[in-house]
């Protein structure tokens, strides 16, 4: 377009110049004589002027071309911009449409996510509540128990003893498992099982003083029995009182001489406690006790009624002294004598004709198969009504004292125990028991050690033999030494060594435990009973 405009302008100027030249020629023809140098100069100047005009016009055309070019460039840019804008607008519209759809989808997804989150939060909250409830429920309960493996040897000898003094060795185990927990703020309950023995292939739980079972009986299955089942009331508005009913572990101060540590009494007890701020006297407690050991449907029941009062003194920062006094009256105790050592009754077997047969006898079942009977007994009644009774009645008057002394070596506290018991209802002179024990150390942390010694002097009718210490030479009528050492292999595993050295006090008494080769009234040789234990507690 620019070139066309330029050509048109050139043609116009050329035509104008030609017309001018023709006119000049005609004039020259007519007036040749009149042409002068001034005319030629004027013509030159006219031509130069026209050339300048042409150049000016060309310059103007170039400027217009440049302006046109710029305008075209701007137009193209505007068109491109418009096209780009249109494209962008279309893209934007498409994007907006897509964005609107995407936003809708996102909103829907967000709503779904919110709903899922709400459902998940609700489920998580419900799960948390459920787990919290389970945790609270399980947190109220505590499992406990132990497994003990024991090697045990018996050694007793005297001159001329022979086969009666043969050494004995046996392996035994004990397993116990219990759970107790707080039912609510006011009540605690517990239940436990323990290993038991079998007789002729059948479980038997007639021994209340031991949960040991000997590794024997041709690999038979071992028995487990209910060892504890109790509920304790601890009212929050009366924190000074607790009451327990059922079958529970001893919760009053005693030694193993009066009640073997494996015995779990049955009945009811209550403890009333008063904490004090006195310089020395820190606590006083009173505990009434009712033990129920034989219920009879058509006659008087047997029970033990009494109580204990105890105190705790703090003598400086290192010494704790805990004395106690217990009175326990056994009502109907003859039922124990008959259950533990029943009378052998005659069983008539006379034929209708012929010579009468020898009078056979029948041995009644031993209902209480605990320690050997070493109390004084008698047989009363006649015929089938015969029964065994104790010579003495029993009322324990028991003074017990314990002192714990913290030494400068925290892992080696000193523990001192003393006990003096008298049977206030004894009908024989042998009515007293006393016991002393000393120990140094403890078995709490790994590599803790403890060792000690104890001595027990237990006269024949001082206590009921069926519930006394089962590891002694005898439960009563015995002088018993005990040496012991314990080593904590870990906080839950302990190795123990115990040596019992004991003998009968008076072999002339009825039911005295003595070697068959020892004459009545003679001094019995010491029976040495050695135990090596490995105990795991959890």
Burial of 503 (0-12, 13-18, 19+ CB in 10 A): buried
The answer as to whether 114 is a domain residue is: yes
Query: Do the Cβ atoms of 143 and 115 come closer than 8 Å?
Result: no
Q: pLDDT exceeding 70 applies to what percent of the chain?
A: 83
Q: Return the bridge partners of 146, or none.
A: 176, 537
Q: What is the pLDDT at residue 23?
A: 46
Residue 133 pLDDT > 60, yes or no?
A: yes
Q: Please say which residue of 92, 112, 139 terminates a domain.
A: 139
In terms of Cα–Cα distance, which of 208, 176, 209 is closest to 195? Answer: 176
Distance from C-alpha of 245 to C-alpha of 236, rounded to nearest angstrom: 18
Residue position matching structure tokens 């027990």: 456
pLDDT at residue 95, as a whole number = 58
Domain boundary among 122, 139, 156: 139
Q: Which helix (H) or strand (E) holds 496?
A: strand 493-504
User: What range defines the domain where residue 106 resides?
Assistant: 1-27+36-139
CA atoms within 13 A on the CB side of 190: 23
Please give the model's pTM, rounded to 2 decimal places. Answer: 0.75
Lowest mean pLDDT among 179-188, 313-322, 486-495, 498-507: 179-188
Domains identified in the chain, total number? 2
Alpha helices in 278-430 (DSSP H): 334-340
At residue 97, the pLDDT reads 66
Residue 393 has pLDDT above 80, yes or no: yes
Asked if residue 452 is part of any domain, the answer here is yes
Of 76, 106, 139, the last residue of a domain is 139
Enumerate the H helices of 270-417 as residue ranges: 334-340
Looking at residue 32, its pLDDT comes to 44
Under the banding of pLDDT at 50, 70 and 90, the label for residue 278 is very high
Non-local (6+) Cβ contacts of 93 within 8 A are none
For residue 488, give both structure tokens.
């904590």
How far is Cα 217 from Cα 198, in angstroms, rounded to an integer? Answer: 9
Distance CA 458, CA 499 (A): 18
Domain for residue 205, yes or no? no
According to DSSP, the β-strands at 377-380 and 387-390 are antiparallel
Name the nearest CA neighbour of 507 among 153, 158, 256: 158
Q: How many angstroms separate the CA atoms of 510 and 512, rounded? A: 5
Query: How far is Cα 506 from Cα 495, in angstroms, rounded to an integer?
Result: 35
- The pLDDT tens digits for 401-412 are 999 999 999 999
Which has more pLDDT, 514 or 247? 247
Reported as a pLDDT band with limits 50, 70 and 90, residue 49 is confident
Q: For residue 258, what pLDDT is reported? A: 97
pLDDT band at 74 (very low <50, low <70, confident <90, very high): confident
Residue 91 placed within a domain:
yes
Runs of H (alpha helix) within 216-367? 334-340
Indicate whether 175 belongs to any domain: no
In a domain? residue 124? yes
* Distance in angstroms (rounded) separating the CA atoms of residues 449 and 443: 6
The distance between the two most distant Cα atoms of the chain, rounded to a whole number of Å, is 213
What is the chain's mean pLDDT, rounded? 86
**H or E element: which one contains 139?**
helix 37-139
Q: Which residue has the higher pLDDT, 219 or 172?
A: 172
pLDDT at 2 (0 to 100): 45
pLDDT of residue 160: 67
Is the confidence at residue 128, as pLDDT, over 80?
A: no
Residues 131 and 254 occupy one common structural domain: no
Q: Are residues 126 and 266 in the same domain?
A: no
Residue 194's beta-bridge partner residues? 176, 225
Residues 453-489 pLDDT 10s: 999 999 999 999 999 999 999 999 999 999 999 999 9
pLDDT at residue 16 above 60?
no
């Amino acid at each position: 377009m620019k070139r066309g405009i330029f050509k048109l302008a050139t043609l116009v100027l050329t035509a104008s110049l030609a017309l001018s030249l023709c006119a000049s020629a005609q004039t020259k023809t007519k007036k040749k004589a009149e042409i002068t140098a001034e005319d030629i100069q004027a013509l030159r100047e006219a031509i130069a002027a026209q050339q300048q005009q042409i150049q000016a016009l060309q310059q103007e055309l170039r400027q217009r071309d440049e302006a046109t070019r710029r305008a075209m460039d701007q137009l193209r840019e505007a068109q491109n911009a418009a096209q780009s804008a249109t494209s962008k607008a279309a893209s934007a519209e498409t994007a907006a449409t897509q964005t609107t759809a995407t936003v809708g989808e996102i909103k829907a997804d967000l709503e779904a996510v919110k709903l899922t989150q709400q459902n998940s939060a609700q489920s998580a909250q419900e799960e948390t509540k459920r787990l919290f409830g389970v945790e609270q429920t399980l947190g109220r309960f505590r499992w406990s128990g132990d497994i003990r493996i024991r090697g045990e040897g018996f050694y007793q000898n005297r001159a001329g003893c022979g086969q009666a003094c043969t050494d004995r060795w046996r392996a035994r185990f004990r397993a116990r498992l219990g759970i107790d927990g707080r039912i609510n703020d006011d009540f605690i309950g517990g239940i436990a099982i323990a290993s038991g023995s079998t007789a002729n292939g059948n479980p038997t739980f007639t021994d209340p003083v031991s949960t040991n079972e000997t590794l024997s009986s041709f690999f038979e299955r071992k028995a487990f029995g209910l060892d504890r089942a109790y509920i304790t009331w601890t009212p929050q508005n009366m924190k000074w009182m607790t009451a327990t009913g059922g079958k529970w572990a001893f919760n009053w101060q005693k030694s193993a001489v009066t009640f073997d540590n494996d015995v779990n009494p049955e009945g009811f007890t209550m403890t009333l406690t008063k904490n004090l701020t006195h310089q020395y006297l820190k606590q006083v407690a009173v505990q009434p006790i009712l033990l129920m050991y034989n219920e009879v449907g058509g006659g008087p029941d047997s029970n033990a009624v009494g109580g204990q009062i105890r105190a705790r003194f703090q003598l400086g920062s290192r010494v704790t002294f805990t004395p106690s006094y217990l009175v326990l009256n056994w009502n109907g105790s003859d039922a124990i004598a008959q259950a533990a050592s029943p009378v052998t009754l005659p069983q008539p077997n006379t034929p209708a004709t012929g010579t009468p047969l020898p009078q056979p006898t029948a041995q009644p079942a031993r209902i209480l198969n605990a320690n050997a009977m070493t109390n004084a007994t008698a047989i009363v009644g006649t015929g089938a009504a015969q029964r065994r009774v104790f010579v003495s009645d029993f009322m324990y008057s028991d003074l017990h004292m314990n002192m714990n002394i913290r030494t400068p070596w925290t892992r080696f506290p000193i523990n001192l125990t003393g006990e003096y018991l008298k049977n206030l209802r004894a009908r024989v002179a042998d009515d007293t028991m006393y016991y002393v024990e000393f120990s140094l150390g403890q078995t709490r942390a790994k590599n803790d050690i403890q060792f000690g010694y104890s001595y027990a002097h237990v006269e024949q009718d001082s206590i009921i033999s069926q519930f006394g210490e089962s590891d002694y030479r005898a439960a009563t009528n015995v002088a018993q030494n005990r040496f012991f050492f314990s080593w904590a292999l870990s906080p839950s595993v302990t190795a123990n060594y115990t040596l019992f050295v004991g003998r009968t006090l008076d072999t002339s008494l009825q039911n005295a435990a003595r070697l068959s080769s020892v004459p009545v009234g003679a001094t019995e040789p010491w029976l040495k009973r050695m135990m090596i234990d490995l105990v795991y507690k959890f």
